[in-house]
Structure 1
Amino acid sequence: MNKNQLGQSDLYVSELTLGCMSLGTDSKKARGIIDRALNAGINHLDTADLYDFGQNEKIVGDAIKGKRDQVILTSKVGNNFNKEKQDWFWDPSREHIEDGVKDSLHRLGIDYIDFYMLHGGTIDDAIGESIEAFENLKKEGLIRAYGISSIRPNVIREYVQRSNIDAVMMQYSMLDRRPEEEILDFLHENSISVLARGPLAKGMLSNRGLEQIEKKGRNGFLDYSYDELETIHQELETINDGNSMNSLALNYILKHPAVASAVFGASSVSQVDDNTSFESTSLTDETYRKIQSITKAIQYTNHR
């Protein structure tokens, strides 16, 4: 599987990333999913301290024992949570970030995290304080590089201007093209990579797309009505000419040079197979434009 440099760091991640949030709490099943992903050439796993209130990090850590050298591991911080009460609050403070990484390292059973992200962020945060915390962790060798998980253009711009982030994680798919309008080119110009989550739009862009539209798109999705989702599905199938819809969805977002990796979730080995069996090919400009002509160039409004 192709690997791409993450920003200007020394990290090279596979063009597909296994998002671990959907693994569940069955350790044996989760290990099977992770093993299948690694065997398929994926080297990048994405977790967060908040997922299952720390349990996800423990499961991922156990699954990669003896395989640490094969894995680029990402985790996230910023949600100060109480596992017993199962609640949390937003906390991007330096103290929480510096304490959070130690807790994550303990749960993961490792000495350092390859890529560490702030799990959100608003323009009202003490951004300078958060940046200082990440820079300190990098100097201490507890993390190798850092970034933010955010879809807020104004927040992203602040971090680009004030920090040394190497990547931004954001939602991006054929149905959610918001990053195309004002973020992707900007990040590419600043040598900052994108980790694109939700590339299959809740499965509505997968090989089982029509079934998932029936389940999850009845009330619409973003600016699309249910009828529009059905029509787009039919038009995409025509464009794709019987090939894997998963592949089309993944190759679409990987076409932009800012995108280093497409992050998909999996709750079964078969879902890993559906995605990793894709043929990595650059879409032709004609196909790319056709897809854009039948989908919407939605803009960020609420999330600024």
Structure 2
Amino acid sequence: MKKRRLGNSDLLVSEIGLGCMSLGTDKKKASEIVKSALDEGINYFDTADLYDFGVNEEIVGENLKPFRDQVYIATKVGNRWTENKDSWSWDPSGDYIKLAVKDSLRRLGTDYIDLYQLHGGTIEDNLDETIGAFEDLKKEGLIRYYGISSIRPNVIKEFVKKSELDSVMMQYSLLDRRPEEWMSLLEDKQISIIARGPLAKGLLSEKMLEKATEEGYLDYSYNELKDLLPQLKDKFSGEKMNATALQYVLSNQCVASAVAGASSVQQLRENCQAANSSSLSHDELDVLKKLTKASKYTSHREY
């Protein structure tokens, strides 16, 4: 598995990361998927304190403990479960971040987190306080690096301007090209994109329209998907859909890792095989860009 540097850090992360939210709570099944990921050369594992009320962190930590010095664990903070665990509230305060990190460390069974990410963000947040908390945790050695998980333009701009973050996690795929707007800025600052959802909820897999709903996907209607997806398949008939999709995302050097979930070992291996397939040529990339929409995030921006 090829690796790329994450931002200005010394983390060399695998081009495919494992999005751990899809592991579920069946420990045996989750263990098989994590072990297969390690066998495939994946060293980047992305979880969050929100997933399964923290159980996801426990499962990830337990399975990675024997390999701790060989892997990078990323988790997220900011969403705070209510006492009844029936909803959550947003809390990016410094006090909460410093409290939550200790709970994540305990559940993960580790002394440090490689990448700690703010799980969202709004322009109304006290960003100086949030950034200060991350910097303090970094100095204490509880986290090595930090980033944000957000596609909101004004939040990204403020963090880039005010912080020393190394990554921005954004949903990015052929069907959601909104992050491309930010690539030149992030590349200039040597901040990496961690691409989540590179297969667009399975629409960019061999199942294609089986995964579609009547509502469509983002700004694609169902009828547009019905027209587009077979075209993508036909024009790249030598490759599986997930290979085309993942190679498109990885064609951007600003992307450090494409984080895909896997609910089975087979799905995981298919994604890794796709990541190791041939890179797309400039002409092929041009075809894909002409067929798809270069959308922009329309809200949470000043212009």
Report which stretch shifted further, 189-198 or 239-248: 239-248
Aligned-partner Cα distance in 1 for 2:288–2:300: 25
Distance change >3 Å, CA 139–CA 280, structure 1 → 2? farther
Letter in 2 for 1:59: I
CA deviation vs aligned residue, 1:162-195 (integer Å, no higher than 9, x gap): 0000000000000001111x21111011100000
Query: Can you give the 5+ residue segments of structure 2 that lack an aligned partner in the other structure?
Result: none
Partner of 2:104 in structure 1? 104
Partner of 1:287 in structure 2? 284
Following TM superposition, by how much is the alpha carbon of 1:282 offset from its aligned partner in structure 2, in angstroms?
2.6
Matched, 1:298 2:301: no
Partner of 1:229 in structure 2? 225
SS in 2 for 1:271: helix
Matched, 1:265 2:270: no
CA deviation vs aligned residue, 1:227-257 (integer Å, no higher than 9, x gap): 1101111111112124211111000011111
Counterpart contact for 1:53–1:86, Cα < 8 Å: no
Distance change >3 Å, CA 241–CA 193, structure 1 → 2? same
Counterpart contact for 1:151–1:303, Cα < 8 Å: no
Aligned-partner Cα distance in 1 for 2:235–2:185: 29
| Deviation >4 Å, runs of 4+ | none
Partner of 2:43 in structure 1? 43
Aligned-partner Cα distance in 1 for 2:28–2:115: 25
SS in 2 for 1:196: strand
Following TM superposition, by how much is the alpha carbon of 1:104 offset from its aligned partner in structure 2, in angstroms?
0.1
Counterpart contact for 2:115–2:143, Cα < 8 Å: yes
Following TM superposition, by how much is the alpha carbon of 1:276 offset from its aligned partner in structure 2, in angstroms?
0.8
Matched, 1:188 2:184: no
Q: CA RMSD in A?
A: 1.1
Following TM superposition, by how much is the alpha carbon of 1:303 offset from its aligned partner in structure 2, in angstroms?
4.1
Following TM superposition, by how much is the alpha carbon of 1:84 offset from its aligned partner in structure 2, in angstroms?
4.1
- 5 Å matches for 1:5-20? 5-20=5-20
Aligned-partner Cα distance in 2 for 1:280–1:148: 29
Aligned-partner Cα distance in 2 for 1:74–1:20: 10
CA deviation vs aligned residue, 1:191-216 (integer Å, no higher than 9, x gap): 00000000000000012213212xxx
Aligned-partner Cα distance in 1 for 2:83–2:55: 9
Partner of 1:276 in structure 2? 272
Partner of 1:55 in structure 2? 55
Letter in 2 for 1:3: K
Aligned-partner Cα distance in 1 for 2:46–2:13: 11
Following TM superposition, by how much is the alpha carbon of 1:83 offset from its aligned partner in structure 2, in angstroms?
6.1
Following TM superposition, by how much is the alpha carbon of 1:70 offset from its aligned partner in structure 2, in angstroms?
2.0
Aligned-partner Cα distance in 2 for 1:280–1:94: 43
Task: Report the TM-score, using the length of structure 1 for normalisation.
Answer: 0.96
Task: Report the TM-score, using the length of structure 2 for normalisation.
Answer: 0.97
SS in 1 for 2:239: coil
Matched, 1:137 2:134: no
Following TM superposition, by how much is the alpha carbon of 1:87 offset from its aligned partner in structure 2, in angstroms?
2.2
Partner of 1:3 in structure 2? 3
Aligned-partner Cα distance in 2 for 1:117–1:228: 35
Partner of 1:126 in structure 2? 126
Counterpart contact for 1:62–1:108, Cα < 8 Å: yes
Aligned-partner Cα distance in 1 for 2:67–2:123: 39
- 5 Å matches for 1:73-84? 73-82=73-82, 84=84
Letter in 2 for 1:88: W
Aligned-partner Cα distance in 2 for 1:280–1:96: 43
Alignment length, in residue pairs?
Answer: 300
Aligned-partner Cα distance in 2 for 1:302–1:55: 33
